[in-house]
Amino acid sequence: MEHFLKNNISLETFITLFSHAPNGLAMVNGPNMIIEVANEKILNFWGKTADVISLPLLEALPEIQDQEFPKLLQQVYETGIPYLGSAMLANIMEDGESTTKYFDFSYTPIFDDLQNVTGICVSATDVTEKVLSEKKLKESIFKFKELILNSEYCSAIYTGRDLVIELANDKMLQTWDKTESIIGLPLTEGVPSLVGQHFMDDMQKVFDSGENFIAKEDIALILRNGILETSYYNYTYQPIKNEEGEVYAIFNMAVEVTDMVLAKKSAVENFTKLQGFIENVPMAIAVFSGSEFILEMSNKDTNDLWGDLIPYYGLPIKEIFPEFQSTGVFDQFLKVFESGQQIEMREVKFLREGFNEDKYLTYILHPTKDENGKTLAVIAIAYDVTEDLKIRRNLSESEKKYKNLSEAIPQIIWTSDAEGRITYCNERLKFYLGEEIENPIGKQFYHLSHPQDLAQVETIFLQAITGKTNFEVEYRAFNNSTKNYVWLLTRVVPSFDEQGNVYEWIGTSTDINEFKLLQSQKDTFLGIASHELKTPLTSLKIYSQVLERVLRKSGDDKNAEYARKMDSQINKLNALISDLLDVTKISAGKMHFIESDFNFDELAQEMIEELRLDSDHQIIFNNNSGGMVFADKNRISQVMSNLISNAIKYSPGAQQIVVTTGRSEHEIQFHVEDFGIGMPDGIADKVFEQYYRVSGDDQHEFSGLGLGLYISADIIERSNGKIWVNSVLGKGSTFCFSLPLTEKL
Ligand code: ADP
316 — pLDDT class (breaks 50, 70, 90) = very high
Query: Please, what is the end-to-end C-alpha distance for the chain in angstroms?
Result: 155
pLDDT of residue 8: 52
Q: Please determine, for residue 745, whether its predicted confidence score (pLDDT) is greater than 50.
A: no
Instruction: Supply the pLDDT for residue 3.
Output: 47
Residue 720 DSSP class: T
User: Which tens digits make up the pLDDT trace of 153-188?
Assistant: 999 999 999 999 999 999 999 999 999 999 999 999
Q: At residue 344, does pLDDT exceed 80?
A: yes
Say yes or no: CB of residue 693 within 6 Å of ligand 1.
yes
Q: How far is the CA of 577 from the centre of ligand 1 (A)?
A: 17
The closest-lying atom of ligand 1 relative to the alpha carbon of residue 695 is 16
Count of Cβ atoms closer than 10 Å to residue 544 Cβ: 20
Q: Which residues pair with 102 in a beta bridge?
A: 89
For residue 638, the CA-to-ligand 1 centroid distance in Å is 15
Per-residue model confidence as pLDDT tens digits over 528-582: 888 888 889 999 999 999 999 999 999 999 999 999 999 988 988 898 898 888 8
Residue 191 CB–ligand 1 contact under 6 Å: no
DSSP 517: H
- 671 Cα to the center of ligand 1, angstroms: 15
Q: How far apart are CA 113 and CA 507, in angstroms?
A: 144
Which atom of ligand 1 lies nearest, measured to the CA of 707?
6
Give the distance (Å) from ligand 1 centre to CA of residue 724: 13
Q: How confident is the model at residue 714 (pLDDT cuts 50, 70, 90)?
A: very high
Which is more confident, 723 or 699? Answer: 723
Give residue-wise pLDDT tens across range 87-123: 888 877 667 777 888 889 899 999 988 888 999 999 9
Closest CA to 360 of 389, 391, 318, 326: 389
In this prediction, residues 709-733 reach a mean pLDDT of: 95
CA dihedral 379, 384, 388, 390 (to 10 degrees): 140
- Report how far apart, in Å, the C-alpha atoms of 57 and of each of 20, 49, 72, 93, 303 are: 22, 13, 13, 15, 105
Classify 437 as helix, strand or coil. Answer: coil
Pocket flag, ligand 1, residue 662 (CB < 6 Å): no
Residue 284 has pLDDT above 70, yes or no: yes
Q: What is the DSSP string of 112-174?
A: -TTS-EEEEEEEEEE-HHHHHHHHHHHHHHHHHHHHHHH-SSEEEEEETTTTEEEEE-HHHHH
- Averaged pLDDT of the chain: 87
Encode pLDDT of 495-519 as tens digits: 998 888 889 999 999 999 888 888 8
pLDDT digits (tens, 9 = 90+) for 647-688: 999 999 999 999 999 988 889 999 999 999 999 988 888 999
Distance from C-alpha of 557 to C-alpha of 548, rounded to nearest angstrom: 9
Closest atom of ligand 1 to CA, residue 677? 25
Q: Cα–Cα distance between 418 and 412 in angstroms, integer?
A: 19
Of the pLDDT bands very low, low, confident and very high (cuts 50, 70, 90), residue 458 is: confident
Task: Tell me the CA–centroid distance for residue 642 and ligand 1, in Å.
Answer: 10
User: What angle do the packed helices 557-588 and 708-718 form, to 10 degrees?
Assistant: 50
Q: Does pLDDT of 700 surpass 80?
A: no
Of 20-34, 379-393, 598-612, 694-708, highest mean pLDDT: 598-612
CA distances from 177 to 114, 189, 203, 741 (A): 73, 14, 21, 87
Report which protein residue has its CA nearest ligand 1's atom 2. Answer: 704
Per-residue confidence band for 699, with pLDDT thresholds at 50, 70 and 90 = low
Separation of alpha carbons 308 and 544, rounded Å: 109
CA distance 450 to 477: 6
Neighbour tally for 478: CB within 10 Å: 19
650 CB under 6 A from ligand 1?
yes
387-428 per-position pLDDT tens digit:
888 888 888 888 888 888 888 888 899 899 988 888 988 888
pLDDT (average), residues 711-718: 96
Report the nearest-CA residue for atom 14 of ligand 1. 693
Atom of ligand 1 nearest to the CA of 688: 6
Conformation bin of residue 589: beta by default, left when phi > 0, alpha when psi is -120 to 50: left
pTM comes to 0.45
Q: In the chain, what percentage of residues exceed pLDDT 70?
A: 95
**By CB neighbour count within 10 A (0-12 exposed, 13-18 middle, 19+ buried), where does 350 fall?**
middle
C-beta 165 within 6 A of ligand 1:
no
Please tell me if the CB atom of residue 639 comes closer than 6 angstroms to any atom of ligand 1.
no
- Residue 588 near residue 545 (C-beta atoms within 8 A): no
Pairing between strand 656-663 and 618-623? parallel
Whether the CB-CB separation of 527 and 588 falls below 8 Å is answered with yes
Spatial separation of the C-alpha atoms in residues 312 and 553, rounded to whole Å: 126
Cβ(706) to ligand 1 under 6 A? Answer: yes
Rounded to the nearest whole angstrom, what is the distance from the C-alpha of residue 464 to the centroid of ligand 1?
Answer: 28
Q: Report the distance separating Cα 51 and Cα 40, nearest Å.
A: 12
Residue 466 makes CB contacts below 8 A (sequence gap 6+) with: none
Q: Which residue has the higher pLDDT, 275 or 730?
A: 730
Instruction: Compute the distance between CA of residue 388 and CA of residue 102 in angstroms, rounded to an integer.
Output: 97
The whole-angstrom separation of Cα 286 and Cα 648 is 86
Question: Rounded distance, CA 8 to CA 330, Å?
Answer: 107
Q: Is 582 in the pocket of ligand 1 (CB under 6 A)?
A: no
The closest residue, in CA terms, to atom 13 on ligand 1 is 693
Residue 6 has pLDDT above 60, yes or no: no
